[in-house]
């Protein structure tokens, strides 16, 4: 009887029909990694950092806060003054040289009239601190005269906090009194608060 010999299996595995590869991966050899590093070849990809709108807004907010944090050297005393519709927030900075700024502008540029400048500096002249302290003010509302008198009131209140002995002198001059007078509202049927139309007989 003819003997059938079993086909010898190669070390890499049996051959499959229809040209299919072997179980171990067939003829396709595995790719060797490149010398540079990754299997895809070339240099390793570097992550790109993209700034979002939120990051940009945070950076701008920090940039706005930084100059505010670095306040002028020397301690300061806060005082609030009002007159008519003006509101003044005053900072009295000790150990200064007499510099006065109003809304970020030099004192002489903001108040052009000599009389208004004297109103603001009146409290400092009385107590003798005209050249020994700096003043930084933020004022809003009203006209120039109302703003000048509101600054004087806020500055006088700050001076009293600095030295309570100034109170008697400033009170006598009326610098610590809040002037309650303001423009009276217009009434209907009248031209102004009290002015009535001219009466005509015919």
pLDDT for the residue 66: 34
Domain boundaries, the chain: 76-173
The answer to whether domain 76-173 has CATH 3.30.230.10 is yes
Alpha-carbon 176 to chain mean position: 32
pLDDT band at 96 (very low <50, low <70, confident <90, very high): confident
List, in order, residues 6 or more apart from 76 with CB less than 8 Å away. 91, 92, 93, 94, 136
Q: Report the alpha-carbon distance of residue 147 to residue 125 in Å, rounded.
A: 19
Task: Tell me the pLDDT tens digit for each residue of 109-135.
Answer: 999 999 999 999 999 999 999 989 999
What is the model's pTM?
A: 0.60
């Amino acid at each position: 009887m003819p003997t059938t010999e079993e086909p010898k299996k190669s070390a890499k595995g049996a051959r499959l029909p229809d040209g299919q590869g072997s179980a171990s991966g067939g003829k396709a050899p595995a790719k060797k990694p490149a010398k540079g590093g990754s299997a895809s070849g070339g240099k390793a990809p570097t992550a790109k950092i993209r700034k979002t709108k939120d990051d940009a807004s945070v950076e701008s907010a920090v940039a706005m806060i930084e100059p505010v944090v670095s306040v002028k050297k020397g301690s300061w005393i806060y005082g609030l003054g009002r007159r008519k519709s003006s509101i003044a927030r005053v900072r009295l900075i000790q150990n200064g040289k007499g510099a006065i700024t109003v809304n970020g502008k030099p004192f002489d540029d903001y108040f052009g009239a000599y009389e208004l400048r004297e109103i603001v500096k009146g409290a400092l002249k009385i107590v003798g601190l005209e050249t020994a302290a700096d003043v930084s003010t933020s004022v809003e509302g009203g006209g120039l005269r109302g703003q000048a008198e509101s600054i004087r009131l806020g500055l006088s209140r700050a001076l009293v906090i600095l030295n309570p002995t100034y109170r008697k002198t400033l009170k006598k001059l009326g610098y610590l009194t809040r002037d309650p007078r303001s423009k009276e509202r217009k009434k209907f049927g009248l031209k102004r608060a009290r002015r009535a139309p001219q009466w005509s007989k015919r």
